[in-house]
Amino acid sequence: MTPAERFAGARVARLATVGGDGAPHVVAITFAIDGDRIVTAIDHKPKRTIRLKRLDNVAAEPRVSVLVDHYEEQWDRLWWVRADGHASIIQPDGPGHRDAAALLARRYPGYREHPIEGPIIEIRVTRWSEWAATEAARA
């Protein structure tokens, strides 16, 4: 299984961005993947504000990392996959928004019930990294 295939099998990921002040920021995200392209939406789920730090951070510094992992008490089954890349923001009326929203809706029923109306972050992966405790954990 390739790192991208293992990554695609995860249900949730963590997006790491860096702000203009150099401070790191990590947030759990839902996502969809298409080859070396990852998309995640600013959606209807409750948030403290609509001006999200991840959007400001991507605007200031487009280099990001996205991490998925598997943990259990049997440590020989641990693994993680990280996608490093460049992010951009697709506005709701921008080119590619409908396609990215459809990709997310195919993966998560909640996006079919509540279509994505906010911006979408698109990440073009430039490097895949992975680790597994054992070869069996990679399977």
pTM: 0.91
Question: What's the confidence (pLDDT) of residue 44?
Answer: 58
Predicted confidence (pLDDT) per residue in 38-48, tens digit: 999 986 554 55
Question: What's the confidence (pLDDT) of residue 137?
Answer: 81
Question: What's the confidence (pLDDT) of residue 136?
Answer: 80
Question: What's the confidence (pLDDT) of residue 43?
Answer: 67
Q: Which domains does the chain have, with CATH numbers?
A: 3-133 (2.30.110.10)
Predicted confidence (pLDDT) per residue in 112-125, tens digit: 998 898 899 999 99
Average pLDDT, the chain: 91
Kindly give the confidence (pLDDT) of every residue in the chain, 139 residues in length, as a single tens digit, with 9 standing for 90 and above: 899 999 999 999 999 999 988 999 999 999 999 999 999 998 655 455 556 889 999 999 999 999 999 998 989 989 999 999 999 999 999 999 999 999 999 999 999 998 898 899 999 999 999 999 988 887 7
| Location of structure tokens 């390739």 | 2
